[in-house]
Every structure is written in structure tokens, then in C-alpha cells.
Amino acid sequence: MLNPEAYRSRFPLLQSKLHLANCSQGPLSIDVVEALNSYQHSLLHSGMDWSTWMGEVEQARAEFAQLIGASANDISVLGSVSDTISAIASCLPIYGRKRIVTTVDEFPTVGHAWLASAHHERSNVTFVKSDDRLYTAEMIEPYLGQDTAVLGVHFVSYYNATLLNIRALADVAHSHGALLLVDAYQGLGTVPLDVTESGADIVVSGNLKYLLGIPGIAFMYVRPGLSSDLQPGITGWFGRVNPFNFDATKLDFAPGARRFDMGTPPVIAAYAARAGMRLVQEVGVPAIYEHVQKISQQVLDGARERGLEVASPLDVTKKGASTAIRVGSHSHDIEAEMGKRGVIVSARADVIRIAPHFFTTEQDVERTLDELASACEMVGEPIP
């Protein structure tokens, strides 16, 4: 059984605040601080140490690969999830197909990238809407056809943490000859995902949430054998077979997912990403998942006991780490009020998201819910 108290001393912020906004930004650990200091030291005392810096990028690539059960050669290192989706969109049409099927409940950057592709007539986009935000294979299948290139979905909803069945969605996409792209940002680090077992063709994620890194880096898994069929329309010198040939007249794509690498990689973010993922791996995602499910059940029960309206699935096996509490139009004011009380949560639209991690205790949850109920009354969203 995971003991959250064993890890709290590694997060200085937890000495003064409750942090339950891991769906937005994880707290900085001393592991990550030490990694950032190491990079700073190399800048100050070595000046230019590219072999070490690139080694750190490769270690981060390998760490992400291990996290999802992949090979490092099937991982691309980019600057953000926006970059990853745009890179795939630039490959359209794929196998002569141009249609993207996705949902209205994707994080906005995903839909924006697909729409930008459509604006340049590289694709057509179909948005699917579900009243309960649950997208099943049976619901999605009628929208798939012979012209569908990619089905793009989330692993865990950024809004209310609804967890999708990726294996079933992969099977239905493949039955129509389409690829499955998964935005796993809201799940990785707290919900196990093995890319081979999932059947996903492309998986993307950043590192600043449950993987405990900082902004500025993202990773993209591309299924072995698929990369050679994809010709990116946006690229950079690190996407070459040998970037250090310095030949501006030759466009040769690197093998595997490395063909999607762009310009000089985000070195400082790679240092942080590697350290954050190593900490997650040290604790173990299966153990984290078990702990977070227990804490999520406490959030669900405690919210209802206090008369708060839950906007997430009520079954913890059907959701990710966060729980959305519907608070109305003043959600950002409530978030700010909670911050004044030393409790960090995250507002989205009409909800407050309470997102625990392996260091979250039962006492954290009780105080957070008490403060949330009080803040709702104060800010002007009284509990029904």
C-alpha cells in the first residue's frame, strides 16, 4: 500500500500549501530542482556542453518510452502537444484519406490543429458530441468511413476526467482503415497505459501535469512501422538522418518517430521531464493508480456529503485522477479564493477540478472539500 507521507518531503510546496491541481501543473519536486540546477551548473561552468545536454534529451526520450511500454526510437521529442498534433496534421492526407474524426470534448489545441489543417484543405474535420462526454466505440463508429484518416480522442477528459476505452476505440478505428491518435496528457502518471496493449497508433503527452515536469516539452509515440508512411509538412534539422551533416539542400527524414523531431530540442525541459518521470516510475504507476482511486472515491463521497455537485463519473474505475465539481460561472473566482486559503485547485469552465497524486493524503481531501464548500458560499455560488 502506497504511503503518501513517504514522499511529501520531496515537494517543498507541500510544506505550506495543499496542491490538488495536478491536472494543470504538478508541484516541483527536489528531484526536478536538482536536475534544473545541474543544467544551470553546466551553463555556468562548461559554457557549451552539447554532448551532455543531448544525452539528457535522449534519456528523457527513453524514460517516456519506458513509461508507456515503447522503444525510444518510436518517440519524438517536441515542444508541446500542440506541436505533436500539428506535426501529424501536416502529414495529411494519409493513405489518400483526409477526414479527421474527433470530439467536441478534446482539449482546444487538438481541435484547433485539425481545423487549421482543414483551412489549408489538407483535411476535413468531423466533430462528434456526446451529452454525457463518454465516447464509446459504438457511438463513434457511424462517423467513420473509407475517407477517415485519423480518429483523434483523449485518454482522460481534461474537463471531468472521463476515462475512454482506448482498446475498443483502436479496434473500431482500425476496422475502418483509420489510425487512432490519443491525447494522453491527463492520464499518464496516474493511469497505466501500455501502447501495445492499447492498440493506439499515435500517443501524445506533455510533462507538466501528473508527470511532474515543467512546460516546454512533449513526447509523441508513433507505432513501429507507421512513421515511414508519414511525411511531415513541418520539420526541423533534428528530424534528419544525421542533423550534423549541415546540408540545407537535402531533406531526408530520420527513421522511426525521430523524423518528427524539430529544431534544437528543449534541453532545460528535458532535464526536468526526465527527473519527474523517474520519480513517477520510482513510486510506480500501478501503485499510484490504486492510491488515486482510493483518494478519488473519498473526493466523490465527501463532495456529495457536503452537497457539492459532481460533474465526473461516479464510478472511480471510469475516470482518471481528477474529480470535477460543478460550481457555476464563478469557477475562476472560486479558484482564486481557494488559493488565498492555501489550497491549489484548477478551474475549467463551470467546474473546479480536484486532482490528487501519490503524495495526496486523506486529510488533504477533507480540508480541500471543506474550503471549497465555504468558498462557493462566499463567492456567490451557494450550494443547492
CATH label of the domain that carries residue 74: 3.40.640.10
The answer as to whether 384 is a domain residue is no
Q: What is the pLDDT of residue 351?
A: 98
Q: What pLDDT shows up at residue 381?
A: 61
Q: Are residues 181 and 260 in the same domain?
A: yes
Q: 12: cis peptide before it, omega within 30°?
A: no
Torsions phi, psi for 125 (to 5 deg): -120, 130
Tell me, what's the pLDDT at 384? Answer: 57
pLDDT at 383: 61
In the chain (384 residues long), the average pLDDT of successive 10-residue segments reads 96 98 99 98 94 98 99 98 98 97 98 94 95 96 98 99 99 99 99 99 99 99 97 97 95 97 98 99 98 99 98 98 97 97 98 99 99 92 60
Q: Which of 252, 280, 308 is the last residue of a domain?
A: 280
Give the CA distances from residue 87 to residues 114, 233, 348, in Å, rounded to whole numbers and listed in that order.
10, 7, 27
pLDDT at 120: 87
Phi and psi, residue 182, nearest 5°: -120, 125
Query: Do residues 220 and 89 both lie within one domain?
Result: yes
Check whether residue 173 and residue 315 sit in a common domain: no
Whether residues 266 and 336 fall in one domain: no
Q: Identify the domain containing residue 164 by its residue range.
A: 32-280
Domain co-membership, 190 together with 268: yes
Q: Which residues, 6 or more positions from 334, have their beta carbon under 8 angstroms from its beta carbon?
A: 327, 347, 352, 372, 375, 376, 379, 381
Which of 224, 253, 280 is where one domain is finished? 280
Say yes or no: 57 and 164 in one domain. yes
Q: What is the CA radius of gyration of the chain?
A: 21
Domains of the chain: total: 2
On whether the CB atoms of residues 6 and 12 are closer than 8 A, the answer is: no
Same domain, 24 and 43: no
CA torsion angle for 109, 349, 189, 105 (degrees, to 10)? -50
Do 248 and 346 sit in the same domain of this protein? no
Does residue 169 share a domain with residue 45? yes
- The answer to whether 176 and 147 are in contact (CB under 8 A) is no
Sign of the CA dihedral running 131, 135, 139, 144: positive
Please tell me the predicted confidence (pLDDT) of residue 1.
85
> Residue holding cell 457539492?
308
Alpha-carbon gap, residue 333 to 336, rounded angstroms:
5
User: Do 362 and 220 have their domain in common?
Assistant: no
Distance (Å, whole) CA 266 – CA 187: 23
In a domain, 240, yes or no: yes
Instruction: Tell me if residue 241 falls in helix, strand or coil.
Output: coil
Same domain flag for 333 and 198: no
Boundary-marking domain end, from 280, 299, 319 = 280
Interatomic CA distance for residues 54 and 51, integer angstroms? 5
Place of cell 500542440: 82
Amino acid 146: pLDDT:
97
